Amino acid sequence: MKIYGIKNCDTVKKTLKFFDKNGISYEFVDFKTTSPSCEDLQRWAEAVGLKKLFNTRSTTYRNLKLKELDLDDTAKIEWMCKEPLLIKRAIVESDQNIVVGYDEDAFTKLITKGA
């Protein structure tokens, strides 16, 4: 099980706390030190949908004025490849299953599938 995000993100903190509290081991991948591959991003987008994955509420999105560019799906993937802080957090990946954001019910299903 891998959890992707940034350490100081409140959603990531809650996610890590959930897994720690439930004794579930995971590998944490910090977007600030290790960017996901474009292939990973494409796979995640196919699994959960780009609308769920691309973070239009992030400071990075606002600072880059990306709303003004009216990006298509390909451009959104390209931007996330260059700027991983545009990816909604946390990303929890187990086998081929992906959960974006904080969702205890979805986490429990992941844990149960992996058991």
Q: Which helix (H) or strand (E) holds 2?
A: strand 2-5
Beta-ladder partners of 5: 30
Catalytic residue among 1, 9, 16, 24: 9
Q: Closest by alpha carbon to 9, among 83, 113, 94, 91?
A: 91
Catalytic annotation present for 38 = no
Question: DSSP label at 5?
Answer: E
Question: DSSP label at 18?
Answer: H
Which residues are catalytic, by number?
A: 9
